[in-house]
Amino acid sequence: MRALVFCYLLGIGSLLNGCREKNNDEEEPEKVKSKTEVAMRKEMSKANMPRGTERVDTLPRFTRQTVPESRRSREVMERVGRRLVKEMGERELTFGDPIFVRVFKMERELEIWVKRNGGRGEYVIFRMYKIKGMSGELGPKEWEGDRQAVEGFYYVTARQMNPNSKYHLSFDLGYPNVYDRTHGRTGSALMVHGKTGSIGCFAMGDDGIEEIYTLAAAALAKGQRFFRVHCFAFRMTEENMTRYGKGKWAAFWRNLKEGYDWFEKRGVEPNVRVMKGQYVFD
């Protein structure tokens, strides 16, 4: 009886501390490919593709950086990637080009921006997704178990991608960042993931995370060292700041607005640092 009570309490505790999951869930071993299949894949044309790229049918496959994979993520990349290649081409965008992500909690929206011309052009918004699940209220996450979703400036590297997520697919936002640690904030496992339920994370639904994950994985594999994720309480227009930007978090939100305005005015994401307990941008 005591063991059952302990297990129950342990399960409740894990829910309060973000979306816990293993990064290396076991999968069934893949079937060994035949020598003929291996040879055919080696012979597939690589003409007119950038260095570090392989072409399988119409889907570019990039090899400049290793991104964690699973059987699930490969199936998603093949299925969703082919559609995204076509849709991006119609917008004069290229699959695998650098991405930038913005999240707005009040509006429950996540934006994906893509940089044209292999990262040499301007950012263009490609897609806006509705956040299907999110807990807490406006204001940053402060401590583990407060059920709050993050606000601030984060970045995601290849090792933060989780193709074995129990929430279908996910990536870790990297909370707490330097700013969060400077202010004594605690917590972990804050993610963007699939499904529709969330405590402290941004749940995008399986269809949403499949596109988001595919765009992110392709950009990383093609050579983007990391992609930035900027999380705001709301769209930080002057009107919204006047209406909502008061109270306990007013100074914090004014600091975040500096980063918001940087991108709005320049069309490029700022380099973000922390000095004397404040975000600074250049």
The residues that are catalytic are 193, 201
Instruction: Tell me the residue type at 40.
Output: M
Q: How many whole angstroms separate alpha carbon 258 and alpha carbon 20?
A: 32
Instruction: Using the structure block, give the residue that is written with the tokens 């342990």.
Output: 10
Q: How many whole angstroms separate alpha carbon 124 and alpha carbon 215?
A: 14
Question: What is the per-residue burial (b if ≥16 Cβ within 10 Å, else e) of 47-86?
Answer: eeeeeebeeeeebbbbeebebbebebbeebbeebbeebbe
Backbone φ, ψ for residue 157 (5° rounding)? -100, 175
Q: Is 272 helix (H, G, I), strand (E, B) or coil?
A: strand
Backbone φ, ψ for residue 264 (5° rounding)? -60, -35
Q: Is 111 helix (H, G, I), strand (E, B) or coil?
A: strand
The total number of residues shown for the chain amounts to 282
73, 125, 81, 61: which is closest to 99 by C-alpha?
125
Give the DSSP letter of residue 133: B
